[in-house]
Amino acid sequence: MKFIPAFLLCLLSLCANAQTNILSTDTVAEEIMLGSYDPSTYLATTILNQPDTISQGISANVSPDSLHAYIETLRTFRNHNTGSDTVSSTNGIGAARRWAYSKFQQFSAANQNRLIPSYLQFDFTGDICGITEHRNILAVLPGTDTSDRSIILVEGHIDSRSENVCDTASLAQGMEDNASGTALVLELARVMSRYSYNHTIVFMITIGEEQGLYGAQAFATYAHQKGISIKAVLNNDVIGGIFCGHTSSVPSCPGYGNIDSTDVRLFSFGGFNSFHKGLARYVKLEYKEMILPFASVPMTINIMTPEDRTGRGGDHQPFRQLSYTAIRMTAANEDGDANVTDTAYHDRQHTTRDTLGVDTNLDGIIDSFFVDFNYLARNTVINGNAIGMMGISPKTPDFTLTTNNQNNLTVNITQQQQYNTYRIGLRTTTNDWDSVYTFSGTLSYTIGNLSPAVYIVSVASVDTVGVESIFSEEKMASLGINQINGAQVSVELLQNSPNPSDEITNISVLVNRPIQYKEAYISIRDILGREVKRLPLQLKEGINETAYHHGDHASGTFIYTLVIDGKAIQSKRMVFTN
């Protein structure tokens, strides 16, 4: 990812119109993404749309060898920087994108031509590394039901880089960053096109990520301008490596030489009531319930608090900025923090050293790989399973939450009441659900005997074949704490989440009744009472959340205090472990 200044400029959409003349080269693909098509045109002869069939089919058919083969081919293009050769048939971004397009065509032919390949073409005002016209590569798998036109998008960038972000001459294979993500998207298109889904699924390979997320931004802008509804975006970047480098961006991996092929990280924006975090929890729940019971190598999915690693970015962000639900999936370990200007930097990320592996016995064949194809396959299955379930999922309900303020919560389903079964996700101080409840045959459910705490609740519908919807927005209630004479105090400072934290944590204040005040802030002090940060805060009724970037401050215990009009109202302790 390019240095923050350019990125920030684009975040502030100062160069929002840098992408112009954005179009889908295949107009049918565009119509399908808009939902204006006849699903019967794309029906498979045999409709495979049952949850177990899809889930176990993806799990059985995603192949490490297939993933390896794509990466070997990407390697042959030598340097596929966004600004590299577009004419050559063997080198450069042009050859790479035409090859990816041909793979989508191949997968379509193998599946009754139900997959519609296309380029998303756009011009970039000025240029990206010397080139004005650019193309993302995508393939559209039409859904069988256009009543809900929202599409599901899985993406990864194909452009690579070396030390200089516009170097189109030196070796820049980008095997971990991001041939791994490109291979994942291709493999999902190959395997998932065999099944049928209510929702349309779009497999997209972007360019221009390293220079400023430009390809993803082009599609997000295009979708926004055209009115394409997007249910979820899963961005996969640096998703196949298992080695920790001498350096790695915070939240960092354990240290040089550490190997991890059973953990993966989900990054997403926000804390309380974030649909991005809700999607991350959904991906994890579907893995736990549909794949883990059969998995020969169990994976641990870690829901991270920040939207991305410190000072880094990814192709999920342009979508989040346009209010589409989007997450990023990245390996637990990275070889380098991309600080290539540091002369002591020896790691592989963002350098000519981001290659496939080492030929240890010098027989001319790589035999020790930096990308672990089995690990990459497991991450591919996690993606495919979640996308498959979302693709056939029922509609998300809404609910009201009531409490007796002591020890129970009652959920009442208010919208999408047509289902027989619903689920409740309940969490307290972490990004994960502490528990998930299921109830049937009623629209109201009470969870009792809860210990005093602040509870965060969301709900999902479950259809007749046991598939749950994306979970609803979150609602919060505090039980048995901060009460005066049995009544909730008007303002409550809540325990930060996550706690302990390694780098970033969310601090929330629950306002039970509107209050009159002039100024409010959170004062953060170290154990000696020295103020290290002040976070201004708006206090509206409900939850008011602010993110605290502890960054590289010392680890240990810190005290945070809610101050209203100069008066300290409440304090709590939080712990940092970085």
Binding site residues, Zn ion, CB under 5 A: 177-178, 237
Instruction: Compute the least distance from the CB of residue 209 to Zn ion, in Å.
Output: 6
Taking the C-alpha atoms of residue 481 and residue 147, their distance in angstroms, rounded to an integer, is: 45
The enclosing H or E element of 514 equals: none
Taking the C-alpha atoms of residue 39 and residue 352, their distance in angstroms, rounded to an integer, is: 46
Taking the C-alpha atoms of residue 256 and residue 271, their distance in angstroms, rounded to an integer, is: 31
Instruction: Compute the least distance from the CB of residue 94 to Zn ion, in Å.
Output: 20
Closer Cβ to Zn ion, 281 or 309, answer by number? 309
Instruction: Compute the least distance from the CB of residue 193 to Zn ion, in Å.
Output: 25
Closer Cβ to Zn ion, 175 or 279, answer by number? 175
Closer Cβ to Zn ion, 143 or 336, answer by number? 336
Closer Cβ to Zn ion, 177 or 474, answer by number? 177
What residues does 556 pair with on adjacent strands?
Answer: 576
Q: Report DSSP letters for 389-410, one per residue.
A: HHHT-----EEEEEE-SSS-EE
Q: Which residues contact 233 (CB under 8 A, 6 or more apart)?
A: 153, 154, 155, 316, 319, 324, 325, 326, 327
Closer Cβ to Zn ion, 178 or 505, answer by number? 178
Tell me which long-range contacts 62-66 makes (C-beta under 8 A, separation of at least 24). 62/187, 62/188, 62/191, 62/377, 62/380, 62/381, 62/384, 63/187, 63/377, 64/373, 64/374, 64/376, 64/377, 65/373, 66/187, 66/190
Q: Where are the beta strands (DSSP E) in 144-280?
A: 151-157, 201-206, 230-236, 263-268
215 neighbors 392 (Cβ within 8 angstroms):
no
Instruction: Compute the least distance from the CB of residue 214 to Zn ion, in Å.
Output: 13
Instruction: Compute the least distance from the CB of residue 307 to Zn ion, in Å.
Output: 15
Closer Cβ to Zn ion, 158 or 459, answer by number? 158
Instruction: Compute the least distance from the CB of residue 178 to Zn ion, in Å.
Output: 4
Closer Cβ to Zn ion, 78 or 350, answer by number? 350
Instruction: Compute the least distance from the CB of residue 157 to Zn ion, in Å.
Output: 6
Taking the C-alpha atoms of residue 81 and residue 209, their distance in angstroms, rounded to an integer, is: 10
Token pair for residue 29?
Answer: 């693909």
Instruction: Compute the least distance from the CB of residue 243 to Zn ion, in Å.
Output: 16
455 neighbors 430 (Cβ within 8 angstroms):
no
Closer Cβ to Zn ion, 51 or 208, answer by number? 208
Closer Cβ to Zn ion, 376 or 392, answer by number? 376
Instruction: Compute the least distance from the CB of residue 97 to Zn ion, in Å.
Output: 16
Secondary structure of residue 523 in the 3-state scheme: strand
Token pair for residue 560?
Answer: 């945070």
Nearest by Cα to 279 from 229, 219, 234: 234
Token pair for residue 98?
Answer: 């035409």
